[in-house]
Amino acid sequence: MPLPKAELHLHIEGTLEPELAFALAERNGVELPYADEDALREVYSFSDLQSFLDLYYELMAVLRTEQDFADLADAYLARAAAQGVRHAEIFFDPQAHTSRGVGIGTVVEGLARALDRSEERHGVSTGLILCFLRDEPAESALETLEAARPYLHRIVGVGLDSAEVGNPPAKFRAVYEAAAALGLRRVAHAGEEGPPEYIAEALDVLGVERVDHGLRCMEDPALVERLVRERVPLTLCPLSNVRLRAVEDLAHHPLPAMLDAGLLCTVNSDDPAYFGGYAEDNLRAVRDTLGLSRERLRELARNSFLAAFLDHDEERRARYLAEVEAYDFEREG
């Protein structure tokens, strides 16, 4: 059994494996401009975030019905469980669907169909995080939050993703204020491709409780000091960083330096169908390439549960944390 962990940075649309993409295309009569799964995999070579996003949004065309979203989430949860994930807080991008005529109700009810059965089927507890697309206007984010109101009982928080550079966090001040007033938790991608200033802005202007990626904080020692002092969790995604060229290669990933600095780091898979690995694959890759000790791996797993939005169920958090402490690397391999 792999090390128990929480996955806190996972875009459900980024778990669309080529096989499922083709199956859904056929089911929905959608034509994909690729001959087969192998031809599709061949275009999984990215030069930066935007080159990935172009394909990510294109393939979403196959997602049309509640059952499509349920099948997508159920396939992810099965894979996650096999990789030791005990709790998953799952991002979804409603605007990428509503802009194609798929209603937010279809998306949320479909995902909920799988999430509601996740504990019983896969032993994975879940939460849903609604993400705003930062390259869309702020008004569209506000409209999306409004459209989500009938489904808020299913949503734990809001996030911010898509093309970062040129779309600073402050653009979304109003919608984050509205989300906070509705009792939603707040996270945002910052410092993936964007500068360290975006990380500080996400904290100061949006009031985020976790930073997604946060990689570029290492360029600003005062910011690192602040993140350590305030115990702000960072949801790092090492294989994503390599594929999107946020780092030169895995051997140059700053994770060891970030842990040494005292940052509350977690390791996650971002868009695993596109980046070559799920949660445990990411952990094993950093272990093997960066030589992380068992105690460092245990720290990463512990951090993932500490950073999870489990405040409503501290008993569960304590149970998961106890599993991490009891994990025997010798026996489990």
**Binding site residue list:** 9, 11, 189, 270-271
Q: Are 132 and 176 in contact (CB under 8 A)?
A: no
Q: Which of 68, 71, 93, 270 binds Zn ion (CB under 5 A)?
A: 270
Task: Choose the one of Zn ion, ligand ADE, none that binds residue 192, judging by a C-beta under 5 to 8 angstroms depending on kind.
Answer: ligand ADE
- Burial of 231-243, coded b for 16+ CB within 10 Å and e otherwise, reads ebbbbbbbbbbbb
Helix (H) or strand (E) holding 188: strand 185-190
Whose CB is nearest to ligand ADE?
Answer: 161
Q: Is residue 189 near ligand ADE by the rule CB under 6 A?
A: yes
Paired strand residues for 6: 87
Contact 125, 43 (CB under 8 A): no
Among 2, 7, 8, 14, binds ligand ADE (CB under 6 A): 14
Of the two residues 11 and 317, which places its CB atom closer to ligand ADE in the complex?
A: 11
Is-catalytic flag, 19? Answer: no
CB-nearer residue toward ligand ADE: 166 or 183: 166
SS3 266: strand
Nearer to ligand ADE, 162 or 282 (CB): 162
**Of 296 and 304, CB closest to ligand ADE:** 304
- How do strand 233-236 and strand 185-190 relate by DSSP bridges? unpaired
Cβ contacts of 194 within 8 Å, gap of 6 or more: 164, 165, 168, 216
Measured from each CB, the residue nearest to Zn ion is 270
171 CB-contact burial (10 Å; exposed 0-12 / middle 13-18 / buried 19+): buried
The first and second tokens of residue 268, run together, are 């996650």
Question: Which residue, 126 or 269, has its beta carbon nearer to ligand ADE?
Answer: 269
> Which of 290, 283, 225, 278 is closest to 254 using CA atoms?
290
Closest separation in Å from C-beta 150 to Zn ion:
26
Q: What share of the chain is helix, strand, coil (3-state, %, to 5)?
A: 55, 15, 30
Tell me whether residue 66 or residue 212 sits nearer to ligand ADE (CB atom).
212
- Binding to ligand ADE by residue 161, rule CB under 6 A? yes
Pick what 5 binds: ligand ADE, Zn ion, none; C-beta below 5 to 8 Å, kind-dependent: none
Separation between Cα atoms, residue 309 and residue 210, nearest integer Å: 10
Question: Applying CB under 6 A, does 210 fall inside the site for ligand ADE?
Answer: no
Q: Is 2 in the site for ligand ADE (CB under 6 A)?
A: no
Q: Does 11 bind ligand ADE (CB under 6 A)?
A: yes
Q: How many other β-carbons are positioned within 10 Å of the β-carbon of residue 23?
A: 14
Q: Which does 49 bind (CB under 5 to 8 A by kind): ligand ADE, Zn ion, none?
A: ligand ADE
Which of 71, 74, 271, 299 is the binder for ligand ADE (CB under 6 A)? 271
Least spacing, CB of residue 333 vs Zn ion, in Å: 30
Count residues binding Zn ion (CB under 5 A). 1
Q: 7, 192, 201, 280: which is the annotated catalytic residue?
A: 192
The amino acid present at 286, given as its one-letter code, is V
Q: What distance separates the 2 farthest-apart alpha carbons in the chain?
A: 53
| Residues noted as catalytic | 192
The site for ligand ADE (CB under 6 A) is made up of: 11, 14, 49, 56, 161-162, 189, 192, 240, 270-271
The site for Zn ion (CB under 5 A) is made up of: 270
